[in-house]
Amino acid sequence: LNALKERAANTTLACKSLKMNPELILRWELDNLLSISTVTAMCALDRRESRGGHARKDFPERKDDFNYHTLATMTEFAKVDLAKRAVDMSIFESKCEHYERFGIIERKY
């Protein structure tokens, strides 16, 4: 992703206008996509398990140590700070009326 960011930074725009410049808009969108991809990749590398849509061959099992929300901030490209927030498990703890519908199912990858 760093190499792609460098390649994008070295592209030239034929039109130098700031008004109605589709090239410039596409370049901004590319920068945004590279930023989002970097944050997503850093979060995925930090999570050493497989859960839901996140599957890793090197960590095929679900680990409840990773049962949290990952909060990511990026102040500069590729400088991502990660934090955690607990998952609200109250529906499981209360064993309410529809508890069975929300049971935890172990998936096999």
Residues 38 and 1: their CA atoms lie apart, in Å, by 7
Residues 88 and 68: their CA atoms lie apart, in Å, by 9
Residues 26 and 29: their CA atoms lie apart, in Å, by 5
Tokens of 109: 């990858």
pLDDT, average across residues 30-53: 93
For 25-36, how does the pLDDT look when each residue is reduced to its tens digit (9 = 90+)?
A: 999 999 999 999
pTM of the predicted model, to two decimals?
0.76
62 SS3 class: coil
Domains located in the chain, CATH noted: 2-102 (1.20.58)
